[in-house]
Each structure stands twice: as C-alpha cells, then as structure tokens.
Amino acid sequence: MDGLREIFTARRLKIAGAVVGVVVALLAGAFALGVLGTPTVEAVDNEFGEVDDETTIVFTDLVVNNPNPVGVQRGDTTINYTVRMNDVPMAVGGREGLSVESGNSTLAFTTRMDNEQIPAWWVTHVNGDERTVVTINATVRASLLGQRQFDITQEKEVETNIIGQFNSEETRPVEADSPPPGVENPILYVNRTSAAWGEATAERTPIDMEFVAYNPKTTPFTVTELGYEITMNGVAVGEGQTDEPATIPPGSTETIRTETAIRNENLDDWWVTHLRNDQVTDLRIEFYAVVSSDLLPQDVRVPLDELTYERTIETDIFGNENASTDGATPTPGGDGDGTPTPTPTPEPVDPVETPTDPIDEPVGDGTPTSTDDDLF
C-alpha cells in the first residue's frame, strides 16, 4: 500500500512540474512573440524636501506600468536615478529590493543633491544666455522572466531674464544727502542704464554696466568712485567699486562704465534661502557714487537710491507648481511657464530742473521691479 502511495505522489510531482514548465514556456514564448508587454515608466514626480547648507533632499515618485498578469516580486527590481542641469550632475541615487505589481505601481525613493554643484550649474546657465535644460534619467531593471531594463528621460528647458530690466532710459536724479551751501539737488541726472553678462568663471560672474549721466550745473563734476552691493534673499553675493574717474562737463552727458560681479562661492548659501522661500528670490543691487567738483568743499559720497535694481525671481524647477496665470503679463525676454507679476509703476514726476540733452532725451516711468518665473 505504501508503495502505491509513493508511486502516486511521484506522478503528481511530475505532473505539477510539467505544468509549471509549460506555463513558464508559454509565458516566455508570449514575451518573445510580444503577447506580453515590457513594463514602462509612465510618470515621474519630483519635490524638494529639507535643505541645509550642504544637501538638498529630492523626493521622487516613479509610476511604473506592468501590463502583464505576473508581478515582479520584492527584491527583483532596482532603480538608478540622475538629475542633471545643463549636463551638470546635481543628484544621483537609486534603490534595490522593489516590487512591481501588475498594472500601475508607484515607486517612491529619495535622492540627495549636493549644494556645492550650484555654482558649477550657475556658470552654465549664465554663459548659455540664461538657459537651463533640466534632464531626469531613470533606469529600472526587473527580473521578469529574465533581466529586463526600461528607461525614461524627461527634459524641461527653462529661460530667465535676470538683469534685462536694468536696461532703462528712465531719467533719475542723483541727490546728495546734505548738499553744501550754494549747491542744489539734484547734482546730476542718470538718463540711461544698461547691463550685460560677462563671461562667468568658476569663481565669479561679471555684469558689465553702463550709466549715462547728465550734468545740469555750470561746473564739471567728476565721479571718482562707483560702488555696488548685490544681495539675493539678503545673502550678500557681490560687492565692490570702480576707481576709474569719469568727468562730466557742464550741460553734457558722459557714459560711466563699471563691472560688478557675483561671487559664485556664495551661491550655494543663496540656494538654501531660495528653496526655503518656496523657490522665490529677491535680487537687489544697490549703488553709491563719490562725486567731486569745484562747487564742493570735499568729495561727497552720494547714495544712488533711484538706481537701486530690484527683481523677484520665481522658479519651478521640476515643473510641478500650480501657479495661476490669469491676467498675467509675460516677462520680456523669457518664455517660461510661470507668471510674472510686475509691480505697478508710479506716474513720472518732472524734476524742478529738467535736463534736456539733445542726444539723450530723458524717458522712463519708475524703478524696475518685476518677476521672472521658471529659473531652473
């Protein structure tokens, strides 16, 4: 009797093994013939997490579609993930031991961005006409009847216009805080301002600036020094001065040129404030001048408050912000998806002593304050 049971048990095992073998063969054949599909990555969603002085956390949800009735068991799936900005690797990570069920599965994982890469990216952004391509590469490997690999690449191009609004033909007065007796404000006028990026290096980002100044007085004025300070969200990223004097004859204009610069070593500190402020940055450039003249008993330092440049920069690096675009006016020079919100400018008020230069007719309507979206 025991012998018969052993015979029947052995036959059952052989039959079961044969059935499994047939099923595996059928599934393998189905894959080979294309009846069963290869899993694909349907979507990638990224969000910034905590940020400190050295690291930025990136949370990622990867939606994988497995069209097959057979899921990939835990331990059979690995993910490798890279974020690049203008080919500069910003975040690299991966996970092992993941499961991919039949149908859609969301695979969640975390990568870390090295903030020290921010200056390197910034150089490519400025030297590339303020353009950045954010590239996300994900590779998923699954042991579904053999090692299978599927990839996804997402790209988003972003443009900015950070200093473009400094180009202005607005006439602005230059006034001393305490003019000496016999000298009335304004002592000068600035009829025109312009700015352009220089060639950024690993250490600094130069900004070439020009100021067309008009002298309404009957005595020459000399600008012996023009100084500046650049802040981004209150972080000092640049300061300095030019000591090349420029003399403005009476009743004439003179172009004063200076090179300001952003110190790239401070950009990773700015990056932390940018993310903590919901990807919003307030850029501010303040100026002062040191002026000398026969009318003045000594050189006078003049704060150029009317020339202060302010710009709000809003970014959506991964393209998942839900900003309203109703009634928006696009920023000149940019074509991102965000919404610029320019500050209303006051009506111009003619100064008591209006300069009228035949070459540089004064025009303008207020301090340039605007918003630039989609920085990254």
- Give a yes or no: residue 57 inside a domain: yes
pLDDT of residue 56: 96
Look at residues 43, 50, 51, 126 and name the one whose alpha carbon lies nearest to residue 319. 43
Instruction: Tell me the whole-structure pTM to 2 decimals.
Output: 0.73
CA distance 184 to 298: 16
Burial 183-200 (b: 16+ CB within 10 A, else e): eebbbbbbbbbbbebeeb
CA distance 4 to 260: 96
Same domain? For 317 and 218 the reply is yes
CA distance 321 to 312: 17
Same domain? For 319 and 181 the reply is yes
Same domain? For 145 and 170 the reply is no
The owner of tokens 């990568």 is 111
Same domain? For 151 and 42 the reply is yes
CATH number at residue 109: 2.60.40.10
Same domain? For 222 and 289 the reply is yes
Same domain? For 86 and 129 the reply is yes
Domain count, the chain: 2
Among residues 159, 182, 210, the one where a domain terminates is 159
Same domain? For 316 and 266 the reply is yes
pLDDT of residue 74: 58
In the structure encoding, which two tokens stand for residue 372, read together? 């630039």
In the structure encoding, which two tokens stand for residue 78, read together? 């690995």
Which domain range does residue 203 map to? 164-372
Phi, psi dihedral angles at 287 (to 5 degrees): -130, 155
pLDDT of residue 95: 82
- Give a yes or no: residue 362 inside a domain: yes
CA distance 172 to 368: 12
State the maximum Cα–Cα separation within the chain, in Å, rounded to a whole number: 130
Give percent helix, percent strand, percent coil of the chain, each to the nearest 5: 15, 45, 35
pLDDT of residue 20: 44
- Give a yes or no: residue 267 inside a domain: yes
For residue 41, give Cα distances in angstroms to 103, 155, 234, 243, 348.
11, 15, 41, 59, 56
Same domain? For 217 and 339 the reply is yes
Look at residues 351, 339, 341, 347 and name the one whose alpha carbon lies nearest to residue 366. 347
Among residues 137, 159, 181, the one where a domain terminates is 159
Same domain? For 290 and 275 the reply is yes
Q: Which pLDDT tens digits describe the chain residue by residue (376 residues)?
A: 555 455 545 555 555 444 444 444 444 444 444 445 667 778 888 899 999 999 999 998 888 888 877 776 656 678 888 999 999 999 988 888 777 788 888 888 888 999 999 999 999 999 999 999 999 998 888 765 456 777 888 898 888 889 999 999 999 999 988 887 888 999 999 999 999 999 999 999 999 999 999 999 999 999 999 999 999 999 999 999 987 899 999 999 999 999 999 999 999 999 999 999 999 999 999 999 999 999 888 999 999 999 999 999 988 888 876 543 333 333 333 333 333 333 333 333 334 343 444 334 443 344 444 444 444 4
Among residues 142, 159, 176, the one where a domain terminates is 159
pLDDT of residue 75: 62
Whether residue 120 contacts residue 146, with contact meaning beta carbons closer than 8 Å, is answered with no
- Give a yes or no: residue 25 inside a domain: no
10 Å CB burial of residue 334 (0-12, 13-18, 19+) is buried
pLDDT of residue 187: 93
CA distance 130 to 193: 20
- Give a yes or no: residue 29 inside a domain: no
- Give a yes or no: residue 8 inside a domain: no
Same domain? For 181 and 326 the reply is yes
- Give a yes or no: residue 10 inside a domain: no
Same domain? For 80 and 190 the reply is no
pLDDT of residue 317: 87
Same domain? For 54 and 185 the reply is no
- Give a yes or no: residue 215 inside a domain: yes
